[in-house]
Amino acid sequence: MQFGVFSVSDITRDPVSGETPSEAERIDAIVQIAEKAEEVGLDVFAIGEHHNPPFFSSAPTTLLAHIAARTKKLIVSTATTLITTNDPVRIAEEYAMLQHLAKGRMDLMLGRGNTAPVYPWFGADIRQSLPMALENYNLLHRLWREDVVDWEGKFRTPLQGFTSTPRPLDDVPPFVWHGSIRTPEIAEQAAYYGDGFFANNIFWPKEHYMRLIKFYRQRYAHYGHGTEKQAVVGLGGQAYIAKRSQDAINEFRPYFNEAPVYGHGPKMEDFMEMTPLSVGSPQEVIDKTLTFREHFGDYQRQMFLMDHAGLPLKTVLNQLDLLGEEVVPVLRKEIESRQDPETAKPPTHALRVKEKYGDQPARQPRPNANRGDNVTGGSPYQDTE
């Protein structure tokens, strides 16, 4: 089981101090948060993608490459990469490049994005969001698996003899999670390709996510990738931790009350009861998180949202200490002892290389000499014809 933190990249006024961090401060902070995640023993750091204020993360691979260079073991990922407004060719190129630089310590999560005005900025139409996402991923999937792609679809210029470079590290495509909270077609696509499925699990009651995860598991088995229990599931979660339960509640309440999306709405206690939010002592967060596998089945990755709603950097780093030192080690032990032995291992590059090659060496594509074009047939690589 992998544990990590994911950030929306919101730059939100701290409701307690009244300060809004500058973009520079927040970008600096997120790098420290990622480094801290590794330091306290977490496995994954993931960042969102947004193209409008008050968010900073418009260029996730740049940030993640930087973080990968400053860490040793941490897997860098996204939450999510927009599979609609991004050209799938650019996703293929940028994330393959990230994969090389991170030496395989990366994966990505795809999502559609639900901010209508963003779509036309990139020449897209939100009404076509779902078919666009599905078609774009069909193309992305091929770009990472076929050296030369001929392709024609509805949403981008056709490709003739196109090679996405660099080829994935060891010729093993980055692992992909498909994030969705309500769309069976996305779950179907994740299942069809044998990819992971991620439910953000933040805003809505668990029943909502249970339905879609169940469907994904059934379809994963239907397409022959393994049993329902072997499907690869990731979950989000949200926690605020303090040694004493009441301190956690008092400290987090002002941030909850003014948080983007659910602030100025339900009472924190009601929200905790009906959603996966835990605010309390390490033991309370452990107990609540342990219920997730009972509802959703054994899963591979648990992500926590820890840095949103204007929480200052110092608090976030302290939260990560508590998460990494007092919560996650217990969760690892408890889940390991309860987990069904059939459960799939969490995806890593090393595991995927082994699955593909066994003990044989991995393919290392070497290009042929430049012929001045890329469309006159034949393979661009020396080891294939």
Match 């107990």 to its residue by tokens. Answer: 287
- Residue 31 in tokens: 């790098």
CB of 184 to another protein, least distance (A): 5
CB nearer to another protein: pick between 98 and 212: 212
Closest approach, Cβ 86 to another protein, in A, equals 18
- Per the structure block, which two tokens stand in for 287? 């107990």
Nearer to another protein, 123 or 184 (CB): 184
Cis geometry, peptide bond prior to residue 329 (ω within 30 degrees of 0): no
Q: How far is the CB of 141 from another protein (least distance, A)?
A: 8
State the nearest-atom distance from the C-beta of 237 to another protein, in Å: 17
For another protein, which is the closer residue by CB, 100 or 214? 214
Q: How far is the CB of 156 from another protein (least distance, A)?
A: 13
Tell me how far apart the alpha carbons of residues 12 and 259 are, in angstroms, rounded to a whole number.
8
Number of CB atoms found within 10 A of residue 324's CB: 19
Q: Kindly tell me which of 56 and 119 has the beta carbon lying closer to another protein.
A: 119
Q: CB 366 → another protein: shortest distance, Å?
A: 30
Select 193 or 357, whichever has its Cβ closest to another protein: 193
Q: Starting at the edge strand that comes first in sequence, how are the strands of the sheet with 44-47 ordered?
A: 75-78, 44-47, 2-7, 301-304, 233-235, 196-199, 175-179, 107-111, 81-82
Residue number, 166 or 194, with CB nearest to another protein: 194
Smallest separation, CB 84 to another protein (Å): 14
Positions that interact with another protein (CB under 8 A): 130-131, 134-135, 138, 141, 153-154, 182-186, 188-189, 192-193, 203-205, 207-208, 211-212, 215, 261-262, 264-266, 270-271, 274-275
Nearest residue (CB) to another protein, 203 versus 357: 203
Cα(295)–Cα(289) distance, integer angstroms: 11
Residue 50 or 206 with smaller CB distance to another protein: 206
- Buried b or exposed e, range 193-212, using 16+ CB within 10 angstroms: bebbbbbbbbeeebeebeeb
According to DSSP, the residues that pair with 234 across neighbouring strands are: 198, 301
State the minimum distance, in angstroms, from the CB of residue 43 to another protein: 29
Q: How far is CA 240 from CA 48, 61, 270, 305, in A?
A: 20, 28, 15, 9
Environment class of residue 288 by beta-carbon count within 10 Å: exposed (0-12), middle (13-18) or buried (19+)? Answer: middle
